Amino acid sequence: MAKQLFIVHPDTGIIFDLSDEIFLFDGARLPSSEDGADVLEYIAKHVKSFGYRLDNFNMTNLFFEEK
């Protein structure tokens, strides 16, 4: 049986369903020329190129892999 995983922010009640396209972006990949609001725009524009896809398959293997 496949797992259905969610990322939950308990303070705001925001729930991210990992069957949606969700990415992790490493801030170390930001060019030093980006600052302020430009950072958010840069991340949004480049997340699919430089980000790591968080999905049910990858997260199940990472956290719940059966040996």
Q: Where in the chain are the domains?
A: 6-64
Q: Give the mean pLDDT of the chain.
A: 88
| The pair of three-digit structure tokens given for residue 16, joined into one six-digit string | 């991210």
Please state the pTM of the whole predicted model. 0.72
- For 21, phi then psi, to 5°, come to -75, 110
53 pLDDT band, cuts 50/70/90, is very high
Helix (H/G/I), strand (E/B), else coil: 64: helix
The full length of the chain comes to 67
Is the separation of the CB atoms in 36 and 11 below 8 Å? no
Q: What is the mean pLDDT of residues 30-53?
A: 86
